[in-house]
Chain A
Amino acid sequence: MKNNILIIGGGPAGLESASQLQRMGYNVILIEKSPKLGGHLAKWDRLFPDSVPADEVLGGLLRGAEGVKCFTDTDVRAINRLDKSYNVRLTNGITVLSDAVLVASGFDLFDAVKKEEYGYGVYDQVMTNADLEAYFKTGTDRRIENPGKIGFAHCVGSRDEKAGCRSCSKVCCATAVKQAIEMKQAFPNAEVFCFYMDLRLFGRHYEDIYLKAQKEYGVRFIRGRVAEVSENYDGTLLVKAEDTVAGKPLKVTLDLLVLMAGMRPSGVGKAIGDLLEMPVEEDGYFAVRSGIAASQRSPIPGIFLAGAATGPKTLPETLADARAAAMEVDRYLTEIFPDAKNYKQLVKERW
């Protein structure tokens, strides 16, 4: 049992499945395009719902994956499908003959510049959820200087047909509530507003932090999408929305507006998907064999998927998906792959 398995993507999904597959005795090769392992998790400060330090979680993942051959700064140059295996040429000059390929290419954050009406990159006091996490991590950001009024705009690049992003990104509601609380902790005198269409606090403990934000921190939740933003002469922001509960247009002057940028299919992942000729769905994420019964299997035999490559997921969902993918890979490599004589028939029946 020493098959080579190539894992594409060194974020939480890639690391967790690498760790599991290594324990099963496989020879795992993990590649990551950026210089660092950890994906978005490495840039995050604390995680909802319980504000666990991201470093702690990432540390655990990295320890689990010790011993895995990891190549950072490495991409795929070319892929050939042989009879059953994949011949993968990497940009670092190495060629891997891999019996299974696991794509864990994750997601990109929505580019908030595309929502022009919010003025990210134009107005000084507009930032994204990722910028705010970077602030929590480093403690510095020129935009944050004891802000008196802070707004969070939900659904930026989510549930927005015009921006080409129909789906809900799943994690932003809980992230906004978490960040709203953290801002109140950092600036107790600040007024904090969350502009939402629906609050999707579906997971365990999520409703608890929503309640905490209201009860203990006095965060104001306003049901209405931020419609437009403009900048005042003094650099503050004028935000417009409708309070759809009151049924009245609303404006508020803010010192800081945080855009909750959603999840988009990974651009790097798409390029690899093209090389592998992996089908994608209308939403841009990779298609799976069956959304319910086989959501870690691509329609192409021998190619597996884990994490946000198949749509927005929370971190625990991603980790569970990664473990499931490892099991699927193992099952394929023990039950289908070794049977050279019946391989085609077995794939037809069981893939």
Chain B
Amino acid sequence: MVDFGFGLVPSSRINLDLFDKDKYRELVKIEPDARICMACGSCTAVCTAGKFVHTSLREAIEDILNAKNDKALESLQACQLCGKCSMVCPRGINTRHLILSINKVYSAK
């Protein structure tokens, strides 16, 4: 099979063939709002934990879709559930709830 050179640096590539459909289905079942993020970055910009440790809900959602589940969890590890992101989200996502659900679904092995 042609690999387009993608085999060289696994950490910096996106391979959508590895996307975990079952887990994602499980996530959107309890959290349909996971689908409506438009990646505006407001959540990340206002994140209070983000001042100290790299934290980004926008990135976590993207990482999940890009088959990088562990990286997604890392991006949310420092979250203090302060809820500031939910105040600025233009799509009105219940971000705290979404963060908890992502942790629940993707932490389970």
* Residues on A facing B (Cβ under 8 Å): 117, 155, 159-163, 197, 223-225, 227-228, 240-244, 247, 249-250
Contact = CB atoms under 8 A, between A and B. Distances in A.
B90 to A, nearest CB: 4
A308 to B, nearest CB: 22
Nearest to B88: A227
A228 B88 contact: yes
A227 B89 CA distance: 9
Contacts of B58: 242, 244
B105 interface: no
A117 B43 CA distance: 13
B28 interface: no
Interface in B22-73: 38-47, 50, 56, 58-59
Instruction: Report which residue of A160, A223, A249 has the largest number of chain B beta carbons within 10 angstroms of its beta carbon.
Output: A249
21 contacts: A159-B90, A160-B90, A161-B92, A162-B91, A162-B92, A163-B90, A197-B39, A224-B41, A227-B45, A228-B46, A240-B45, A241-B41, A241-B42, A241-B45, A242-B43, A244-B39, A244-B58, A249-B44, A249-B45, A249-B50, A250-B45
A242 B39 CA distance: 10
Interface residues of B, number: 20
A225 B40 CA distance: 5
B106 to A, nearest CB: 19
A152 to B, nearest CB: 15
Interface of B: 38-47, 50, 56, 58-59, 87-92
Contact of B56 (A227, A228, A241, A247): A247
Contacts of B50: 249
A159 B87 CA distance: 15
Contacts of B44: 242, 244, 249
Nearest to B87: A117
A156 to B, nearest CB: 10
A160 B40 CA distance: 11
Instruction: Report which residue of B38, B44, B50 has the largest number of chain A beta carbons within 10 angstroms of its beta carbon.
Output: B44
B41 to A, nearest CB: 3
Contacts of B43: 227, 242
Nearest to B59: A247
A26 B88 CA distance: 52
A161 B91 contact: yes
Given A242-B56, A247-B59, A227 B92 contact: no
